[in-house]
Every structure is written in C-alpha cells, then in structure tokens.
C-alpha cells in the first residue's frame, strides 16, 4: 500500500493511497492545520490508513510511506504498531521506489487536459483534484503495484543509483 502527501500551489496538500488496483480515500491536508507533525499525521491521516487497511484485509500485509519526518517519527511507528499495521522499511533516498509519484504525474496531466488551471478558484481546483483522483485507472494502479519487484531489483542492481522510472 502506498501513501504520500503532495504540495499544491493553493497552500494545501492532497494525500492518496492505493493497493494493487484498489484506490483508497483521497484526503486534503488543510493549510490551517499547519505543518505536518507526527501528532497531526497520526490524528488526521492514520485513521484513513487504518480504515483502508482494515477494509482490504487479508489482501494488505504492509504499509509503505516515504521518509518524511512525520512518517518516520517514533510516535507514528508506534501508532501504526498499535493499529496492527506492519510498516515497510524504507530507504533514506528512494524516489524511484515510490510508485505513487507516477500517480501524481498522471493526475497532473489529467487536470491539464480537462481544465484551464488559470481560471480555477480554490474551491474549483479542489474539486478537480478529487475528480482526477477518481479518474485514475485501476489497471494503471495495478501496473504500478506489479512494478515494485522490478523497481527493487533495478535499485539493487545499480547499487542504489537512480533507475529513471
């Protein structure tokens, strides 16, 4: 399962997660919540992770997130442990391994094809981001999920160097 937060020019962030072809809930991190601390991440985001993880049992076995400070904090790791959600160890510099990056690029392209960003206000842009999340094809997510073995093997083969995906 993958989750990642992405900055938006309007000052808020959007989070999404998926497992195989299953898309989890999308979630806005509101500007007024301030920076993402471990406590805020645990309060605002981990309940969504727990819900998605529980809804998709027994298919999900591990939760993957990147190395953002709020993700690698001991309090976050402990909260995940208490929720019964095993955490995938994550290398320090590993953008090639995170398949949701491809989803963000897909969503950006979809948004640019379907609307004029310059004409959108904050409320309209938020709606378009949600529409883009809903439009992400399930077969694309499945392809990205299946690409993990290749990504891991390429990183190992190249001694940790950039694999270009």
> Exposed, middle or buried by CB within 10 Å (0-12, 13-18, 19+), for 63?
buried
| Contact by Cβ (8 Å): 118, 124 | no
- The answer to which of 7-21, 60-74, 116-130 has the lowest mean pLDDT is 7-21
| Contact by Cβ (8 Å): 64, 52 | no
The reported pLDDT for the residue numbered 153 is 83
Query: Is residue 11 a part of any domain in this protein?
Result: yes
- The answer to which of 16-20, 81-85, 161-165 has the lowest mean pLDDT is 161-165
Query: Is residue 33 a part of any domain in this protein?
Result: yes
pTM above 0.85, yes or no: no
Query: Is residue 61 a part of any domain in this protein?
Result: yes
Per the prediction, the chain carries an average pLDDT of 85
Query: Is residue 23 a part of any domain in this protein?
Result: yes
Q: Of 117 and 146, which is predicted with more confidence?
A: 146
The reported pLDDT for the residue numbered 148 is 84
**DSSP letter at 26?**
-
- pLDDT-derived band at 12, boundaries 50, 70, 90: confident
- pLDDT-derived band at 88, boundaries 50, 70, 90: confident
Q: Of 10 and 105, which is predicted with more confidence?
A: 105
pLDDT at residue 4 is higher than 80:
no
Query: Is residue 163 a part of any domain in this protein?
Result: no
pLDDT at residue 75 is higher than 90:
yes
Interacting residues of 165 by C-beta distance below 8 A, sequence separation 6+? 96, 102, 147, 151, 154
Query: Is residue 50 a part of any domain in this protein?
Result: yes
**Cα angle at 96 between 28 and 140, to 5 degrees?**
65
Please state the rounded mean pLDDT for residues 32-49. 94
- Rounded distance, CA 72 to CA 9, Å? 25
Query: Is residue 89 a part of any domain in this protein?
Result: yes
Query: Is residue 103 a part of any domain in this protein?
Result: yes
State which residues form the domain around 40: 2-157
CATH number assigned to the domain comprising residue 64: 3.30.420.10
108-126: pLDDT as tens digits:
999 999 998 888 888 898 9
Please tell me the total count of domains within the chain: 1
């Amino acid at each position: 399962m993958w989750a990642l937060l992405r900055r938006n020019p309007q000052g808020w962030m959007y989070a999404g997660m998926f497992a195989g072809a299953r898309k989890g809930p999308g979630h806005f991190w509101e500007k007024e919540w301030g920076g993402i601390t471990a406590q805020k991440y645990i309060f605002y985001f981990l309940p969504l992770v727990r819900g998605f993880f529980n809804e998709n049992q027994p298919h999900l076995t591990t939760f993957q997130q990147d190395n953002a400070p709020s993700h690698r904090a001991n309090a976050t790791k402990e909260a995940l442990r208490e929720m019964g959600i095993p955490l995938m160890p994550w290398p320090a510099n590993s953008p090639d391994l995170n398949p949701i990056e491809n989803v963000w690029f897909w969503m950006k392209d979809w948004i640019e094809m379907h609307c004029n960003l310059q004409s959108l206000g904050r409320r309209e842009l938020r709606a378009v981001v949600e529409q883009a999340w809903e439009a992400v094809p399930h077969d694309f997510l499945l392809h990205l999920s299946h690409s993990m073995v290749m990504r891991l093997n390429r990183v190992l083969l190249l001694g940790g160097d950039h694999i270009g995906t």
